[in-house]
Amino acid sequence: MTQLYNKVALIGLGLIAGSMAKAMRRAGLAGEIVGHARSAETRKTALEIGLVDAVFDTAAEAVKDADLVVLCVPVGVMGSIAQEIAPHLAQDATVSDVGSVKKAIIDAVQPHMPDHVHFIPAHPLAGTEHSGPHAGFADLFNNRWCLFTPLPETDRAYVDRLKQLWSEMGANVEEMDAEHHDLVLAVTSHTPHLIAYTMVGVADDLQRVANKEVIDFSAAGFRDFTRIAASDPTMWRDVFLNNKEATLEILGRFTEELFDLQRAIRRGDGEQLFDHFTRTRAIRRSIIDAGQDTNAPNFGRYPKEGD
Protein backbone atom coordinates (compact mmCIF):
# COMPACT_ATOMS: atom_id res chain seq x y z
CA MET A 1 0.00 0.00 0.00
CA THR A 2 1.32 3.42 -0.97
CA GLN A 3 0.10 6.58 0.70
CA LEU A 4 -0.14 9.18 -2.05
CA TYR A 5 -1.66 12.08 -0.11
CA ASN A 6 -1.33 13.16 3.50
CA LYS A 7 -4.73 14.83 3.78
CA VAL A 8 -7.64 14.57 1.33
CA ALA A 9 -10.58 16.96 1.59
CA LEU A 10 -13.83 15.83 -0.03
CA ILE A 11 -16.22 18.71 -0.67
CA GLY A 12 -19.63 17.09 -0.91
CA LEU A 13 -20.27 13.73 0.76
CA GLY A 14 -22.51 11.75 -1.56
CA LEU A 15 -22.08 8.58 -3.60
CA ILE A 16 -18.82 9.47 -5.38
CA ALA A 17 -17.11 11.06 -2.38
CA GLY A 18 -18.19 8.20 -0.14
CA SER A 19 -16.91 5.63 -2.60
CA MET A 20 -13.63 7.51 -2.94
CA ALA A 21 -13.20 7.58 0.83
CA LYS A 22 -13.79 3.84 1.12
CA ALA A 23 -11.58 3.00 -1.86
CA MET A 24 -8.76 5.19 -0.53
CA ARG A 25 -8.98 3.57 2.90
CA ARG A 26 -8.99 0.10 1.37
CA ALA A 27 -5.75 0.82 -0.50
CA GLY A 28 -4.11 3.02 2.16
CA LEU A 29 -3.84 5.95 -0.23
CA ALA A 30 -4.51 8.82 2.20
CA GLY A 31 -3.24 9.59 5.67
CA GLU A 32 -6.36 11.54 6.66
CA ILE A 33 -9.70 12.03 4.94
CA VAL A 34 -11.90 14.97 5.87
CA GLY A 35 -15.03 16.38 4.37
CA HIS A 36 -17.68 19.04 4.13
CA ALA A 37 -21.32 18.91 3.08
CA ARG A 38 -23.89 21.67 2.95
CA SER A 39 -26.40 19.66 5.00
CA ALA A 40 -25.80 19.37 8.75
CA GLU A 41 -27.54 16.00 8.68
CA THR A 42 -25.18 14.72 5.98
CA ARG A 43 -22.16 15.94 7.94
CA LYS A 44 -23.43 14.19 11.07
CA THR A 45 -24.11 10.94 9.22
CA ALA A 46 -20.72 10.93 7.46
CA LEU A 47 -18.95 11.26 10.79
CA GLU A 48 -21.11 8.67 12.55
CA ILE A 49 -20.52 5.99 9.92
CA GLY A 50 -16.79 6.69 9.77
CA LEU A 51 -16.83 7.86 6.18
CA VAL A 52 -14.35 10.62 7.05
CA ASP A 53 -12.03 11.34 9.95
CA ALA A 54 -13.44 14.82 10.47
CA VAL A 55 -16.19 17.02 9.03
CA PHE A 56 -16.31 20.79 8.82
CA ASP A 57 -19.16 23.26 8.62
CA THR A 58 -17.53 25.12 5.73
CA ALA A 59 -15.55 24.07 2.69
CA ALA A 60 -12.92 26.69 3.57
CA GLU A 61 -12.20 24.95 6.88
CA ALA A 62 -12.10 21.50 5.29
CA VAL A 63 -9.40 22.32 2.71
CA LYS A 64 -6.90 23.75 5.20
CA ASP A 65 -3.56 21.87 4.90
CA ALA A 66 -5.04 19.35 2.43
CA ASP A 67 -2.71 18.27 -0.36
CA LEU A 68 -5.70 16.96 -2.36
CA VAL A 69 -9.09 18.65 -2.59
CA VAL A 70 -11.84 16.98 -4.61
CA LEU A 71 -15.00 18.90 -5.49
CA CYS A 72 -17.88 16.40 -5.39
CA VAL A 73 -20.71 18.92 -5.67
CA PRO A 74 -23.21 19.69 -8.45
CA VAL A 75 -21.74 21.42 -11.49
CA GLY A 76 -23.79 24.55 -10.85
CA VAL A 77 -22.03 25.36 -7.56
CA MET A 78 -18.45 24.46 -8.55
CA GLY A 79 -17.52 28.08 -9.21
CA SER A 80 -18.82 29.43 -5.91
CA ILE A 81 -17.11 26.62 -3.97
CA ALA A 82 -13.84 27.31 -5.79
CA GLN A 83 -14.09 30.98 -4.89
CA GLU A 84 -14.74 30.12 -1.24
CA ILE A 85 -11.82 27.72 -0.82
CA ALA A 86 -9.24 29.58 -2.95
CA PRO A 87 -7.71 31.71 -0.14
CA HIS A 88 -7.36 28.66 2.11
CA LEU A 89 -5.65 26.19 -0.24
CA ALA A 90 -2.24 24.89 0.77
CA GLN A 91 0.93 25.46 -1.21
CA ASP A 92 1.16 22.93 -4.08
CA ALA A 93 -2.24 21.44 -3.30
CA THR A 94 -4.00 19.52 -6.06
CA VAL A 95 -7.61 20.53 -6.68
CA SER A 96 -9.76 18.17 -8.73
CA ASP A 97 -13.42 17.42 -9.31
CA VAL A 98 -15.72 14.56 -10.34
CA GLY A 99 -18.17 16.52 -12.48
CA SER A 100 -19.90 15.05 -15.54
CA VAL A 101 -19.03 18.02 -17.76
CA LYS A 102 -15.59 19.49 -18.08
CA LYS A 103 -15.43 22.68 -20.15
CA ALA A 104 -18.02 24.48 -18.00
CA ILE A 105 -16.26 23.38 -14.81
CA ILE A 106 -12.88 24.58 -16.08
CA ASP A 107 -14.43 27.93 -17.00
CA ALA A 108 -16.04 28.21 -13.55
CA VAL A 109 -13.20 26.94 -11.36
CA GLN A 110 -9.90 27.80 -13.03
CA PRO A 111 -10.23 31.62 -12.70
CA HIS A 112 -10.37 31.26 -8.90
CA MET A 113 -7.36 28.96 -8.55
CA PRO A 114 -4.23 30.56 -7.07
CA ASP A 115 -0.92 30.12 -8.89
CA HIS A 116 0.41 27.89 -6.10
CA VAL A 117 -2.15 25.07 -6.66
CA HIS A 118 -2.67 22.53 -9.43
CA PHE A 119 -6.19 22.23 -10.83
CA ILE A 120 -6.73 18.87 -12.56
CA PRO A 121 -10.30 18.23 -13.80
CA ALA A 122 -11.41 14.59 -13.75
CA HIS A 123 -14.57 12.56 -14.25
CA PRO A 124 -15.10 9.00 -12.97
CA LEU A 125 -17.60 7.20 -15.23
CA ALA A 126 -19.22 5.35 -12.37
CA GLY A 127 -22.38 5.76 -10.36
CA THR A 128 -25.73 4.41 -9.32
CA GLU A 129 -29.16 5.97 -8.92
CA HIS A 130 -28.53 6.26 -5.17
CA SER A 131 -27.11 9.28 -3.37
CA GLY A 132 -26.05 10.40 0.10
CA PRO A 133 -23.26 9.32 2.48
CA HIS A 134 -24.67 5.79 2.88
CA ALA A 135 -24.59 5.16 -0.90
CA GLY A 136 -20.82 4.82 -1.39
CA PHE A 137 -18.93 1.55 -1.69
CA ALA A 138 -15.25 0.79 -2.27
CA ASP A 139 -15.73 -1.25 -5.47
CA LEU A 140 -17.65 1.44 -7.37
CA PHE A 141 -14.67 2.38 -9.56
CA ASN A 142 -13.40 -1.13 -10.28
CA ASN A 143 -12.75 -1.47 -14.04
CA ARG A 144 -14.59 1.80 -14.70
CA TRP A 145 -12.98 4.73 -16.49
CA CYS A 146 -11.84 8.00 -14.96
CA LEU A 147 -11.31 10.64 -17.66
CA PHE A 148 -8.81 13.45 -17.11
CA THR A 149 -8.88 16.79 -18.93
CA PRO A 150 -5.74 18.49 -17.58
CA LEU A 151 -4.82 21.98 -18.70
CA PRO A 152 -1.72 22.18 -20.92
CA GLU A 153 0.31 24.13 -18.36
CA THR A 154 -0.29 21.69 -15.48
CA ASP A 155 2.80 20.08 -13.93
CA ARG A 156 2.79 16.47 -15.17
CA ALA A 157 4.05 15.12 -11.85
CA TYR A 158 0.82 16.21 -10.17
CA VAL A 159 -1.31 14.78 -12.98
CA ASP A 160 0.52 11.47 -12.75
CA ARG A 161 0.07 11.28 -8.98
CA LEU A 162 -3.68 11.87 -9.28
CA LYS A 163 -3.90 9.30 -12.06
CA GLN A 164 -2.10 6.82 -9.80
CA LEU A 165 -4.67 7.50 -7.07
CA TRP A 166 -7.54 6.65 -9.40
CA SER A 167 -5.73 3.57 -10.69
CA GLU A 168 -5.15 2.37 -7.12
CA MET A 169 -8.87 2.89 -6.44
CA GLY A 170 -9.57 0.42 -9.25
CA ALA A 171 -10.26 2.73 -12.20
CA ASN A 172 -8.85 2.79 -15.72
CA VAL A 173 -7.56 6.26 -16.61
CA GLU A 174 -7.52 8.17 -19.88
CA GLU A 175 -6.85 11.77 -20.94
CA MET A 176 -8.70 13.91 -23.49
CA ASP A 177 -9.46 17.56 -24.04
CA ALA A 178 -12.48 19.04 -22.30
CA GLU A 179 -14.63 19.73 -25.38
CA HIS A 180 -14.14 16.19 -26.70
CA HIS A 181 -15.01 14.80 -23.27
CA ASP A 182 -18.27 16.72 -23.26
CA LEU A 183 -19.21 15.43 -26.72
CA VAL A 184 -18.39 11.82 -25.81
CA LEU A 185 -20.44 12.04 -22.60
CA ALA A 186 -23.34 13.64 -24.46
CA VAL A 187 -23.50 10.39 -26.47
CA THR A 188 -22.83 7.86 -23.73
CA SER A 189 -24.52 9.42 -20.71
CA HIS A 190 -26.23 12.78 -20.98
CA THR A 191 -28.62 12.19 -23.88
CA PRO A 192 -29.54 8.65 -22.69
CA HIS A 193 -30.48 10.14 -19.32
CA LEU A 194 -32.60 12.79 -21.03
CA ILE A 195 -34.36 10.10 -23.07
CA ALA A 196 -35.00 8.05 -19.93
CA TYR A 197 -36.48 11.04 -18.10
CA THR A 198 -38.66 11.74 -21.15
CA MET A 199 -39.96 8.17 -21.53
CA VAL A 200 -40.86 7.91 -17.85
CA GLY A 201 -42.59 11.29 -18.15
CA VAL A 202 -44.56 10.06 -21.19
CA ALA A 203 -45.78 7.06 -19.22
CA ASP A 204 -46.77 9.32 -16.35
CA ASP A 205 -48.70 11.65 -18.69
CA LEU A 206 -50.45 8.98 -20.76
CA GLN A 207 -54.05 9.06 -19.63
CA ARG A 208 -55.10 5.81 -21.35
CA VAL A 209 -52.67 3.72 -19.23
CA ALA A 210 -53.19 3.71 -15.48
CA ASN A 211 -50.21 4.42 -13.22
CA LYS A 212 -50.78 1.07 -11.52
CA GLU A 213 -50.48 -0.69 -14.87
CA VAL A 214 -47.24 1.13 -15.66
CA ILE A 215 -45.81 0.03 -12.31
CA ASP A 216 -47.17 -3.53 -12.15
CA PHE A 217 -46.47 -4.44 -15.77
CA SER A 218 -43.10 -2.74 -16.24
CA ALA A 219 -41.04 -4.71 -18.74
CA ALA A 220 -37.25 -4.72 -18.58
CA GLY A 221 -36.78 -1.74 -20.91
CA PHE A 222 -39.07 0.59 -18.99
CA ARG A 223 -37.71 -0.70 -15.69
CA ASP A 224 -34.21 0.28 -16.75
CA PHE A 225 -35.47 3.71 -17.83
CA THR A 226 -36.93 4.26 -14.35
CA ARG A 227 -33.61 3.33 -12.73
CA ILE A 228 -31.79 5.94 -14.83
CA ALA A 229 -34.55 8.50 -14.26
CA ALA A 230 -34.21 8.05 -10.49
CA SER A 231 -30.82 9.81 -10.56
CA ASP A 232 -30.21 13.03 -8.64
CA PRO A 233 -32.34 15.81 -10.22
CA THR A 234 -30.01 18.63 -9.15
CA MET A 235 -26.98 16.98 -10.69
CA TRP A 236 -28.71 16.29 -13.99
CA ARG A 237 -30.29 19.73 -14.22
CA ASP A 238 -26.79 21.21 -13.94
CA VAL A 239 -25.32 18.73 -16.43
CA PHE A 240 -27.78 19.70 -19.16
CA LEU A 241 -27.47 23.42 -18.50
CA ASN A 242 -23.67 23.20 -18.62
CA ASN A 243 -23.26 20.84 -21.57
CA LYS A 244 -25.94 22.47 -23.67
CA GLU A 245 -24.24 22.52 -27.10
CA ALA A 246 -23.04 18.92 -27.16
CA THR A 247 -26.30 17.55 -25.74
CA LEU A 248 -28.39 19.47 -28.28
CA GLU A 249 -26.17 18.23 -31.12
CA ILE A 250 -26.57 14.57 -30.09
CA LEU A 251 -30.27 15.05 -29.32
CA GLY A 252 -30.73 16.42 -32.86
CA ARG A 253 -29.02 13.36 -34.33
CA PHE A 254 -31.17 11.10 -32.15
CA THR A 255 -34.34 12.87 -33.31
CA GLU A 256 -33.38 12.35 -36.96
CA GLU A 257 -32.78 8.62 -36.33
CA LEU A 258 -36.08 8.37 -34.47
CA PHE A 259 -38.01 9.98 -37.33
CA ASP A 260 -36.29 7.61 -39.76
CA LEU A 261 -37.38 4.59 -37.73
CA GLN A 262 -40.87 6.05 -37.41
CA ARG A 263 -41.12 6.21 -41.19
CA ALA A 264 -39.81 2.63 -41.50
CA ILE A 265 -42.47 1.36 -39.10
CA ARG A 266 -45.20 3.30 -40.94
CA ARG A 267 -44.04 1.90 -44.30
CA GLY A 268 -43.69 -1.61 -42.90
CA ASP A 269 -40.00 -1.64 -43.90
CA GLY A 270 -38.88 -4.69 -41.94
CA GLU A 271 -35.52 -4.84 -43.71
CA GLN A 272 -34.52 -1.36 -42.52
CA LEU A 273 -35.62 -2.15 -38.97
CA PHE A 274 -33.74 -5.46 -38.95
CA ASP A 275 -30.55 -3.87 -40.32
CA HIS A 276 -30.71 -1.06 -37.77
CA PHE A 277 -31.27 -3.42 -34.83
CA THR A 278 -28.48 -5.73 -36.02
CA ARG A 279 -26.01 -2.84 -36.20
CA THR A 280 -26.89 -1.49 -32.78
CA ARG A 281 -26.89 -4.97 -31.23
CA ALA A 282 -23.19 -5.22 -32.11
CA ILE A 283 -22.47 -2.20 -29.90
CA ARG A 284 -23.97 -4.03 -26.92
CA ARG A 285 -21.65 -6.96 -27.61
CA SER A 286 -18.66 -4.62 -27.75
CA ILE A 287 -19.57 -3.14 -24.34
CA ILE A 288 -19.70 -6.63 -22.82
CA ASP A 289 -16.41 -7.62 -24.48
CA ALA A 290 -14.80 -4.49 -23.01
CA GLY A 291 -15.82 -5.59 -19.52
CA GLN A 292 -18.17 -2.63 -18.99
CA ASP A 293 -21.23 -4.84 -18.40
CA THR A 294 -22.20 -8.47 -18.05
CA ASN A 295 -23.92 -10.88 -20.41
CA ALA A 296 -25.37 -12.80 -17.46
CA PRO A 297 -29.02 -13.84 -17.83
CA ASN A 298 -31.37 -11.00 -16.95
CA PHE A 299 -28.40 -8.60 -17.12
CA GLY A 300 -27.03 -9.92 -13.84
CA ARG A 301 -30.16 -9.19 -11.85
CA TYR A 302 -30.76 -11.88 -9.27
CA PRO A 303 -34.31 -12.97 -8.57
CA LYS A 304 -35.76 -11.99 -5.23
CA GLU A 305 -36.08 -14.67 -2.61
CA GLY A 306 -39.17 -16.73 -3.35
CA ASP A 307 -39.27 -15.82 -7.08
The answer as to whether 36 is a domain residue is yes
Say which CATH number the domain at 289 has.
1.10.3660.10
Query: For residue 302, what pLDDT is reported?
Result: 41
The answer as to whether 56 is a domain residue is yes
Give the lowest-confidence range in 7-21, 115-129, 168-182, 240-254.
240-254
Query: For residue 306, what pLDDT is reported?
Result: 36
The answer as to whether 306 is a domain residue is no
The answer as to whether 307 is a domain residue is no
The answer as to whether 81 is a domain residue is yes
Give the tens place of pLDDT for each residue, 77-93: 999 999 999 999 999 99
The answer as to whether 236 is a domain residue is yes
221 & 153 share domain: no
Say which CATH number the domain at 99 has.
3.40.50.720
Higher pLDDT, 301 or 246: 246
Give the tens place of pLDDT for each residue, 215-245: 666 666 777 777 777 777 888 788 888 888 8
Q: Which of 157, 116, 144 is nearest to 20 (CA)?
A: 144
Give the lowest-confidence range in 12-16, 184-188, 290-294.
290-294
131 & 49 share domain: yes
49 & 63 share domain: yes
The answer as to whether 301 is a domain residue is no
Domain edge (last residue) among 176, 191, 209: 176
Domain edge (last residue) among 176, 209, 235: 176
State how many domains the chain has.
Answer: 2
172 & 184 share domain: no
193 & 287 share domain: yes
12 & 122 share domain: yes
172 & 257 share domain: no
Higher pLDDT, 54 or 207: 54
Give yes or no for residue 144 having a pLDDT over 90: yes
101 & 44 share domain: yes
* Close Cβ partners of 179 (under 8 Å, ≥ 6 residues apart): 103, 246
N-term to C-term CA, the chain: 43
Look up the domain containing 101 and give its range: 5-176
117 & 159 share domain: yes
The answer as to whether 191 is a domain residue is yes
The percentage of the chain sitting over the pLDDT mark of 70, rounded to a whole number, equals: 89
Give the tens place of pLDDT for each residue, 43-84: 999 999 999 999 999 999 999 999 999 999 999 999 999 999
Domain edge (last residue) among 146, 176, 206: 176
Q: At 301, is the pLDDT very low, low, confident or very high (cuts 50, 70, 90)? A: very low
Query: For residue 238, what pLDDT is reported?
Result: 87
263 & 165 share domain: no
Give the tens place of pLDDT for each residue, 286-300: 777 777 666 665 444
* Close Cβ partners of 278 (under 8 Å, ≥ 6 residues apart): none
Q: For the whole model, what pTM was predicted? A: 0.80
